[in-house]
Chains A and B, each alone.
Chain A
Amino acid sequence: RKEVEQDPGPFNVPEGATVAFNCTYSNSASQSFFWYRQDCRKEPKLLMSVYSSGNEDGRFTAQLNRASQYISLLIRDSKLSDSATYLCVVTPETHSGGYQKVTFGTGTKLQVIP
């Protein structure tokens, strides 16, 4: 089983729709979780961190389910500009040198259609 798994999509949704992505992780000791956004031919950029209590930033809501070992990203009222690939990021363990190994999912592609 991969450390971090995402449905690659693409998710094709109309403008204004609500869409949700999940990301499952295998290591129950995972500590920190993030969602990154990557536009075509650009670098990934942090979208939001995922806290145990869940967090919201405008139209975006991120949640963590430790019991089932997944994180989710909900996008409400989708805009054309939301079209991108969304990467989930998990820090599963602490390296012996104090570094926390970071694992990226392969991403879920979202295409918002006019």
Chain B
Amino acid sequence: DVKVTQSSRYLVKRTGEKVFLECVQDMDHENMFWYRQDPGLGLRLIYFSYDVKMKEKGDIPEGYSVSREKKERFSLILESASTNQTSMYLCASRYREETQYFGPGTRLLVL
């Protein structure tokens, strides 16, 4: 079974803090993704990576950056957290054009 893990299930941060969300997959997938999910807006792609050190902006990259130094790990960074970044963050991985596998999600609250 594919396993995608995320570093935290719940996180509370203050405005202006730097926040790191980590995602690890154990199936040697090339493609990894970061989404946020908000009520009524569905899943929105923040960034994706199709190889080590490669990254591409998704639909809503503003306020975020990513890092992929190793194939199994894809990190999402909020340089200076703001209250409008309170959301559910979901990481996913995928082998080529096959289905995506999601991690359990991180619920981030920015106060």
Contacts and interface: CB of A to CB of B under 8 A. Distances in A.
Interface of A: 8, 32, 34, 42-46, 49, 87, 89, 91, 95, 97-100, 102, 104-107
The size class of the interface chain B forms with chain A is 20 to 34
Interface of B (DSSP majority class): strand
Contacts of A102: 33, 45, 100
B97 to A, nearest CB: 6
In the complex, which of the residues B43, B45, B56 has the most CB atoms of chain A within 10 Å of its own CB atom? B43
B99 A42 contact: no
Nearest to A101: B45
Given A106-B41, A106-B42, A100 B102 contact: no
A100 B97 contact: yes
Interface string B17-47: 0000000000000010101000011110100
Interface string B88-105: 001000000101111111
